[in-house]
Amino acid sequence: MAQLLDGASKLGWVLLRAVVRFVFMFFNNCVAIPSYCLYLLLLQPLRIWDSYTFWHIEGVMFKWLLGMVSSWGWVAGYTVTEWGDDVRPISEEAAMVIVNHQSTGDVCTLMMCLQDKGTVVRKMMWLMDHVFKYTNFGLVSLIHGDFFIRQGKAHRDKQLVYLKDHLDKYYHSRDRKWIVLFPEGGFLRKRRETSQSFAKKHSLPHLTHVTLPRLGATHVILKTLSAQQENGSLGCETRTTNQTANKHKGLQWVIDVTIAYPKARPMDIQTWIFGYRPPTVTHVHYRMYPIKDVPVEAEALTDWLYQRFVEKEELLTYFYDKGSFPPLEGQKEAASRQMTLDPVWLCSIQFFAFASGYMWYSVLQYLYCCLF
């Protein structure tokens, strides 16, 4: 009887905490996202006069919004431990980031672990499934300039053309640096069987913890954003009259990110919202490749990309067996880094969001009363 009461008490506490978290996040979204949109609407004259400054301000607010999402997991005890190469020294350089994809929680994990990487979050561009366009964060991503890609053979060729046009139009003009994509094209649980059948048919490696990546988007990004030589020098683009001419060097790195969850149990967005899972440490492994070592030709790039996911398979197999990632070449022991967030900063951006929501509500209410 005592055990039954204890179990009921714990369940009641989990449910109460989940309800409180959901209510807070609902209101958090209701004040933060409209405030972001209204601030940018107010700043439209600045966008015409000095677009560089406008997108700088937008990037800062975008980072704050992603910081709020990170805080939801951080408060529940969901933290990140990092392994492999230290990517912070190249945070200001242009990079393509390829990530394995297991669940909706992967995006939240990246939002958290990239917060302490300089200006990465405010200057990054995401490639994600078009379904996310219809979520609460979809409008923010549209304004920020992320690209929503539609899956399926029927849309593949057109989507790649749209992606190239999108990169040409927004990547340099909005001063983007890191571009994040999931080459597998879907969640592991949904694509594993199809991927394994394809691998068997074409005598490719049998993968369990990842799936074979798709080439299309990766190829377009490399061809579009790699440095173009013009008369022996890099091409350049002139910014606004308030900015000096800036030479875009193109992509300088490919960053291979491998996300591992304890016991191979991916964390989804529902877990981040309701916090019903006990405190969990997600492990993120980085490996950096200079762009000069990455082939651009389709066939060579396919082999290179397949090899990266074979390595991911080996990394994840090692992790699930040992509980840690293997040491880097030349190291005897693998060194990990605990990723932390500043609680004062998290509280400050939450306060700013609710204060902004109240301010905009008061302004709109006043305008409504004046007009009607």
Per-residue pLDDT tens digits for 96-147: 999 999 998 999 999 999 999 989 999 999 998 888 888 778 899 999 999 9
Strand-pair partners of 96:
179, 254
Torsion of CA 269, 275, 279, 280, to 10 degrees: -10
Query: Contact 109/260 with Cβ under 8 angstroms?
Result: no
Q: Say yes or no to pLDDT of 8 above 80.
A: no
pLDDT of residue 250: 86
Q: 167: pLDDT confidence band, cut at 50, 70 and 90? A: very high
Which residue from 191, 141, 199 is spatially nearest to 170, judged by alpha carbons? 141
Q: How far apart are CA 46 and CA 272, in angstroms?
A: 36
Q: What is the pLDDT of residue 232?
A: 30
**Per-residue model confidence (pLDDT) at position 234:** 34
CB atoms < 10 A from the CB of 200, how many? 10
pLDDT tens digit sequence for 184-194: 988 888 889 99
Rounded Cα distance between 210 and 129, Å, is: 18
pLDDT tens-digit map of 318-339: 999 999 999 887 777 888 888 8
pTM (predicted TM-score): 0.88
